[in-house]
Amino acid sequence: MTDVTITITDREGVTHEVLAPTDMNMNLMEVVRSFELAPEGTIGVCGGMAMCASCQCYIESDHALPEKGDEEEAMLSEAFFVQENSRLGCQIHITPELDGLKITLAPEE
């Protein structure tokens, strides 16, 4: 399987270009953790259940992402620093369509 390139700006404002596998059932939050772009314990706190907002990120490229599910909508409606382009990284699976995606991690709550 192929890897996709994703550009991630961390909470310190540093931009990283990373290769994410499409065949490991990974999501965006897990990609950030696997490259240690945010300290452990500050991202993916609930483990990826859309039950915290620690993996909130802003989508900065015009990729067509899958629609938000009810749980993601509900969590984002109670999260802080939410913008129009906010998503929960844990709800975005890494697929070939995401090649070239650009995101910025939201501040820690």
Partner 1 sequence: MIKTDILIIGAGPTGLFAVFEAGLLQLRCHIIDALPQPGGQLAEIYPKKPIYDIPGFPEVLAGDLVDNLMEQIKPFQPGFTLGERAETIQKLEDGSFIVTTNKGTQHHAPIIAIAGGLGSFEPRKPLIPNIHQFEDKGVAYFIRNPDVYRNKKVVIAGGGDSALDWSIFLAHIAAEVTLIHRRNEFRGALDSVEKVQELKKLGKINLITPAEVVGLKGIDQLEAAIVQMDDKTEVTIETDAFIPLFGLSPKLGPIADWGLEIEKNAIKVDNTLDYQTNIPGIYAIGDVNTYPGKLKLILCGFHEATLMCQSAYQRIHPNKRYVMKYTTVGGIHGFDGSVKEAPKAVVKAIE
Binding site for partner 1 (CB under 8 A): 39-42, 45-46, 49, 51-52, 54, 70-71, 73-74, 77-78, 80-81, 109
Of 4 and 75, nearer to partner 1 (C-beta) is 75
Q: Write the DSSP string, 10-79.
A: -TTS-EEEEEEESSS--BHHHHHHHTT-S-TTSSSTTSSSSSS-TTEEEE-S---PPPPPHHHHHHHTT-
Nearer to partner 1, 24 or 74 (CB): 74
CB closer to partner 1, 65 vs 76 = 76
